[in-house]
Amino acid sequence: MMNYDMANSPADVPELLPAQPFRGEAIAGKLLLFIVVVLMCIGIVVVYSSGAGWAEKKFANPQYFLWRQLTFASLGLGVIFVVGHIDYHLLRKVSKLFLFLSIVALAMLLLLKLFGVIHGAARWFGVGLLKFQASDLAKYAIILHFSRMLADKRSHIRDLHTGYYPMLILLMTVVILVALEPNFSTSSLIALIGFTLMFIGGVRVKYLLATAAALIPIAGVFAIAAPYRMARLIGFVGGENELSYQVRQALIGLGNGGLFGLGLGASKQRELYLPLSYNDFVFVVIGEEYGFIGALVLLLLFAGLFACGIIIAKHAPDLYGRYVATGVTFAIVLYAFINIAVASHLMPTTGVALPFISYGGTALLFNSLGIGMLVSISRYRKKEEIARRAEAMLGSKGGAS
C-alpha cells in the first residue's frame, strides 16, 4: 500500500491516487449519513424545545420554528441524496463559476448597502424562501475552487508567484467582502479554511506564516474598531453589558443541566431568558435539558463526523476529491467547535450557528451540500472498485477460455 504525505510537494505525486480497496471507507460513508440524520433529528427536537416560547412571542405560533426546521431538514436530506449520486468531478468544472457568483453576490450586497437599499448588516441575498447568506455560498465556493487549483497547480504550488499569490488574492477578495458586510467572525473562519487548504495542499509554510504575521494585527484592529465587536470582547472578559448577560444566562443553563439534565422541554433558560436559544446558544439548551451526558454525546457525534470525513478524504480517488473532502469536513467541524466554545464561554460571542442543529434553513442546506459531496466522493471510489472487480472477472474468464 502506497502512503501519501499531504505535506510533501504535490509535484512528486500523480493526480490520480493509487486505487486501493478499503472496506472502512464504505462504512465511513454510511456512518456519516447516520450521524448527519441523528444531528438533524436532534436539531428538530431542540429547536422546537428552545424556540417555542420565542415563536409564540414573535409569531403567535409556538410551532413556527418546528415546522420550518422540519421542512429544511427534509430538503437537506434531499440535497444529500441528489448531490451524493452526482459525480463530484462535475463540481470541479463549475467551481470557478461558483466562486464568481459568490463574489458578485457579496459585492452586490455592499452596493445595495452603499446606496441605502439595505440598512444594517448586508448579509442576506435574495427574497422570500430563496433568501440565503452570501457568505455560505462563498465558503463552499472557496473549498471547491481551491481544491481544483491545488490539484491543477500541484507541479508549482510551492512557487510564490504562480502558486500562492493567485490563491491568496482570491481568498482575500472574499474575506474582505464578507468582513465589510460586516461579518468579522465568518470572514475569519473563511480565511482559516482557505489557509488550511493551502497548507494541506503543499503551499510553503513560510509564505503562510508571513501572511499571517501581516494579517493578524490588521484583523485585531478591525475587531475592536466597531463598538459591537468591542462589546463582545468586554462581555467575554467579564465586563457588564448586554452580551455579558447572555454569557451569564448560558453558563446558568449549562450548570442547571448537571450530569443527566432536566429533561426534554424542561429548560428554564429557553423561557425568554437566553436570547437566540434556538440558534446561536442552542447548545446551552442541549446541556440544560440533557445534561453533561447529552452534551458529550453531541461532541462525540461531531467527532465521528470528523473521523468519517477524514477517512473519506484519505482514501479519495484523486487529489481534488481529497481536498474537497478535507475542506468540507474541516469547515463543518470548525463551525461546530466555535459555536460550542462560545456557548461554554471559551470564546467571545460570534454568532456562528451549530451545523444541522441551530435554527436556520439555508445554512442547513449548504452544509447538506457539503455532506452530499463527501457521499459522492465515497460512492465514486466504490463504483471504481466494482468496475475493477468486474474487469478482473471478465479477464479471468477470458483467460480460462
Q: Summarize pLDDT for 356-395 with one digit per residue, the tens.
A: 999 878 899 999 999 999 999 998 865 555 555 556 566 5
Domain-embedded: residue 398: no
Residues 6+ apart with CB under 8 A from 131: 124, 125, 362
Higher pLDDT, 202 or 266: 202
**Amino acid 354: pLDDT:** 94
pLDDT given for residue 89 in this prediction? 93
Q: According to the per-residue pLDDT averaged within each range, which of 134-143, 243-252, 266-275, 360-369 is highest?
A: 134-143
How far is the C-alpha of 213 from the C-alpha of 298, rounded, in Å? 35
And the C-alpha cell for 233? 470582547
Of the segments 143-147, 224-228, 246-250, which one has the largest average pLDDT value? 143-147
Q: Are 202 and 157 in contact (CB under 8 A)?
A: yes
Tell me the percentage of the chain whose pLDDT exceeds 90.
54
Mean pLDDT of the chain: 85
Residue 2 is assigned to a structural domain of this protein: no
Q: Does the pLDDT value for residue 2 go beyond 60?
A: no
Backbone angles phi, psi at 340, to 5 degrees: -65, -40
In angstroms, the CA 177 to CA 224 distance is 18
Question: Domain for residue 4, yes or no?
Answer: no
pLDDT given for residue 7 in this prediction: 41
When divided into structural domains, the chain yields a total of 1
Residue 332 scores a pLDDT above 50:
yes
Note whether 111 and 101 are within 8 A (CB): no
Residue 60 forms part of a structural domain: yes
Within a domain: residue 9? no
Q: For residues 121 and 101, give the distance between their C-alpha atoms in angstroms, rounded to a whole number.
A: 20
> Residue 379 in contact with residue 29, Cβ under 8 Å?
yes
Residue (of 163, 159, 27, 87) closest to 320 by Cα position: 87
32 alpha carbon, distance to own chain's centre: 15
Contact 308, 29 (CB under 8 A): yes
Q: In angstroms, how far is the first alpha carbon of the chain from the final one? A: 32
Nearest by Cα to 270 from 46, 73, 69: 46
For 179-200, what is each residue's pLDDT tens digit? 998 889 999 999 999 999 999 9
**pLDDT for residue 243:** 61
Contact 379, 85 (CB under 8 A): yes
291 within 8 A of 261, measured Cβ to Cβ: yes
- pLDDT category at 399 given cuts 50, 70, 90 is low
| Of the listed ranges 127-131, 144-148, 244-248, the one predicted with least confidence | 127-131
| Confidence category of residue 337, pLDDT binned at 50, 70, 90 | very high
241: confidence class by pLDDT, cuts 50, 70, 90: low
Structure confidence by residue, pLDDT tens digits, 58-98:
888 888 889 999 999 999 999 999 999 999 999 999 999 99
Residue 132, SS3?
Answer: strand
101 grid coordinates: 457568483
- Asked whether residue 3 is assigned to any structural domain, the reply reads no
Instruction: Please indicate, yes or no, if residue 214 is contained in any of the structural domains.
Output: yes
**CB under 8 Å, gap of 24 or more: what pairs does 212-215 form?**
215/191
In this structure, is residue 44 part of a structural domain? yes
pLDDT tens column, 93-141:
999 999 999 999 999 999 998 888 887 777 887 766 668 889 999 999 9
Environment class of residue 376 by beta-carbon count within 10 Å: exposed (0-12), middle (13-18) or buried (19+)? Answer: buried
What is the DSSP code (8-state) at residue 270? T
Residue with the bigger pLDDT between 323 and 346: it is 323
What range does the domain containing 211 cover? 21-393
280 pLDDT above the threshold of 90:
no
